[in-house]
Structure 1
Amino acid sequence: MKITLFRPVNAQELALIEKSGFRAFPPRLTDQPIFYPVCNFEYARQITVEWNFPAYGNGYVTEFDVDSNFLAKYQVENVGGVIHNEYWIPAEDLEQFNQHIIGQIRVVFKKED
C-alpha cells in the first residue's frame, strides 16, 4: 500500500529533485534536523504561497507516494489547524525514506514571479 504526501519546495530544492530523476529529496542542511512531508495539498499550497514564495520568489508543491508500511514507524504531527498535519522524518532517515518513494515525485502546483 502507499500513502500520498506533499512537500513544498523552492526552485533550488526542485532542481536537486530533478537531478535525481524525480526519485529523491536532497539531504537536509546541517541546520535542518527534520524532513517534514505534509499530509494534504491544501497545507502544502499554504506553505508555498505564504512562506516559500515571499522568501524565495518561487514555490512549488510536490506530490509523491510512499510505502505505507515504511511510513508506519513515524507518527503524524499536528502543528496548528485541522489541515496542518505532517510527518517528522529525522534527517538521518531521509535516504531510507527516499528508497521507499514509489514512482516519481510530481510537481502539482507552482507559484513564480
Structure 2
Amino acid sequence: MILFRPTGQKELDLIKESGWKLWPPRLPEQPIFYPVTTFDYAEKIARDWNSVLTAPDNIGYVTRFEVSREIEQKYPIQVAGGKEHTELWVPAEDLETFNTGIVGLIEIVATYRDGQRVA
C-alpha cells in the first residue's frame, strides 16, 4: 500500500536522520500517527495548513512511502471528514511496529512554501 504524509521541517529532519526509513516517535500531544491514502489529501494539508498556518518557516512537504500488506491489514482505512479524506490511524505506541512494515524509503514528492508549490 502506498501512503502519503504531510509533514513539516522538524519531522522531515528526523526522518532524514533515520536514513529516510522511519517515522519519529509522536510527541505527547500526538496520540495518533495518521498517514493519508492519497496525494491530493496530503497536498491539501501540506499546502493549506502546514505551509501557511502552522510551520514557523511556512514550508510543508508531502512524503510518500509504502507499507507491507501486514501493516495495511492491521490498520484499516478511516474516513476523517469527507469521503476523500482517508487515512490510517496508528496509535503512537504502535509506531515502532508500523515502522518495521515500511518497504523501501520515505521520499519527498512535493514541497510548498507560503501555500505555493516550489518543488
User: What is the TM-score with the length of structure 2 in the denominator?
Assistant: 0.90
In structure 1, the residue matched to 2:16 is 18
In structure 2, the residue matched to 1:106 is 107
Q: Which runs of no fewer than 5 residues in structure 1 stay unpaired? A: none
Q: Which runs of no fewer than 5 residues in structure 2 stay unpaired? A: 115-119
Post-superposition offset of 1:75: 1.4
Confirm or deny that 1:42 pairs with 2:43.
Answer: no
> 1:12-64: per-residue Cα shift (whole Å, max 9, x none)?
11000000000001000001100000000000000001110111100000000
Post-superposition offset of 1:73: 1.6
The letter of the residue matching 1:103 is G
Equivalences for residues 3-14 of structure 1 within 5 A: 3-14=1-12
Post-superposition offset of 1:112: 2.4
The letter of the residue matching 2:81 is G
Post-superposition offset of 1:70: 2.3
User: What is the TM-score with the length of structure 1 in the denominator?
Assistant: 0.94
Report sequence identity in percent.
Answer: 48
RMSD of Structure 2 on Structure 1 (CA)? 0.9
Number of residue pairs the alignment of both structures matches: 111
Confirm or deny that 1:31 pairs with 2:32.
Answer: no
Task: Give me the whole-angstrom Cα distance separating, in 2, the residues matched to 1:109 and 1:82.
Answer: 23
